[in-house]
Structure 1
Amino acid sequence: MKQTQDPRDETAATGKFFRSVRRNEDVPTSTTVIEAIAAVSDGDATDLPPLYDSIDPNALNALFDSEKAHSEQPLSVSFAYLGYKVCVDRERIDIRSATGDIGPSNLR
């Protein structure tokens, strides 16, 4: 599933890439993270290095995709992956470049 450009994506104001993706309960959180990073990097999800180099995808899915994940208590997880800061909470996945110069051409 290819991510579509979100009107909330921004680069000009901060010099850092920002993408915000709404979580879909039917898609594992780890899959949504990979697809969003692929969209940001203008690449294919299958070409990206394994997510487990940065975070355990099973643990990420367990936190956000299980029946217990439907709590009203705040929950967020942040980690670095491919030069991006990934922040996951119960509703969204936000991706920011770690520096202003990370972008599609710098990930190859």
Structure 2
Amino acid sequence: MAEGSISYALVRKVAAEKSVDPEVLTPLHDVIDPDALESLFDDSDGSMLRDGYIVFSYEGFTVRVDHDREITLSEGRAEA
């Protein structure tokens, strides 16, 4: 997980919110494909997410990542 990546920022934010070391969290790849997540926010091929967001559950939180790379955590699981 690269230090400037959405995945890295997400795991660090969840770990901080739970006051735990990131290594004790469930591996992100067990929940969502990190490569797919990164591709939504990587503009190297001109296909970056320009509007909208992605929502999923991770470690007891609903995680929302907006098109501008802002990560928001809410307690509880995301509704399907």
Normalized against structure 2, the TM-score is what? 0.79
Cα distance in structure 2, aligned partners of 1:45 and 1:52: 14
The count of aligned residue pairs is 72
**Percent of residue pairs bearing the same amino acid type:** 32
1:66 pairs, out of 31, 34, 43, with 43
Unaligned runs of 5+ in 1: 1-25, 100-108
1:38 aligns with 2:2: no
Deviation at 1:46, TM superposition (A): 1.5
Q: Which structure is richer in relative contact order (CA contacts within 8 A, separation 6 or more)?
A: 1
How large is the Cα RMSD of the aligned pairs?
1.8
**What is the aligned partner in structure 1 of residue 30 from structure 2?**
53
SS in 2 for 1:59: helix
Which structure 2 residue ranges, 5 or more long, are not aligned?
A: none
Q: CA deviation at 1:89?
A: 1.0
Cα deviation for residue 50 of structure 1 reads 0.6
- Normalised by the length of structure 1, the TM-score is 0.60
Q: Which moved more, 1:33-42 or 1:57-66?
A: 57-66
Look up the match of 1:95. 73
Bigger Rg, which one: 1
Q: Secondary structure at 2:23's aligned position in 1?
A: helix
